[in-house]
Amino acid sequence: MATKTVTAKKTAPAKKDASAKKSTPAKKTTPIKKTSSSSSKAPAKQDAATDLKDFFEDALKDIYWAEKALTKALPKMEKNATHPELKKAIATHIEETQIHVTRLEECFKSLGIKPEAKKCDAMQGLLDEGKSIMEETKPGAIRDVGIIAASQKVEHYEIATYGSLAAYAKVLKEKTCLNNFLTTLKEEKNCDALLTKIADTALNTKAK
């Protein structure tokens, strides 16, 4: 394992800012409310899925919304990034994300249904968090670190989603969907690994 060395590049002003923030009193933690009955089941909506095919189609609409939202959010992240490697990684993933949208449209077509986007609350939350991270960091290495953290949360969400979708497609024998999900899943994993590499080799120590 590589050992970290303290370099002369460590910037004093950034450290001062960081320690100033530390003096802010900690927020009160809200206790987790106990539900009246742990065995009570959540009521299902009228159009709730009854089988795997229904659930699969719902999940497809969900990720379709998420990928489309990402085509709009990623360019903002790219603009805010400073490090050339990070900017390049995001630019490449914007192009891939546009293809992810197209692949999902192919999936809808192969299932014989119209492409429909259903708001994905989880992705909306991750994108909101990404926006706050950018507002809470000064441009430069520290904002780059924040952008990587936010982007990796997005990639992990996508990895989990495409992993599940691929498993359902396999059971349902939806071959076009399965191939498309696996191709996209590979690209999401590659993007995640590249972000880890950039953070480890170029940014985390610089932002210290």
- Name the residues that contact Fe ion, by CB under 5 A: 97, 100, 158, 188
Of 152, 167, 162, residue with least CA distance to 198: 152
Element of type H or E holding 135: helix 121-135
From the CB of 127, what's the least distance to Fe ion, in Å? 12
From the CB of 124, what's the least distance to Fe ion, in Å? 15
3-class DSSP assignment, residue 90? helix
Total Cβ atoms within 10 A of residue 2: 6
From the CB of 188, what's the least distance to Fe ion, in Å? 5
Report the residue number, 56 or 162, with the smaller CB distance to Fe ion. 162
Report the residue number, 80 or 97, with the smaller CB distance to Fe ion. 97
Whether residue 164 contacts residue 193, with contact meaning beta carbons closer than 8 Å, is answered with: no
Structure tokens at 201: 């080799």
From the CB of 151, what's the least distance to Fe ion, in Å? 8
Report the residue number, 94 or 172, with the smaller CB distance to Fe ion. 94
CB-nearest residue to Fe ion: 100
Please state the separation of Cα 38 from the chain's center in Å: 31
Report the residue number, 97 or 137, with the smaller CB distance to Fe ion. 97
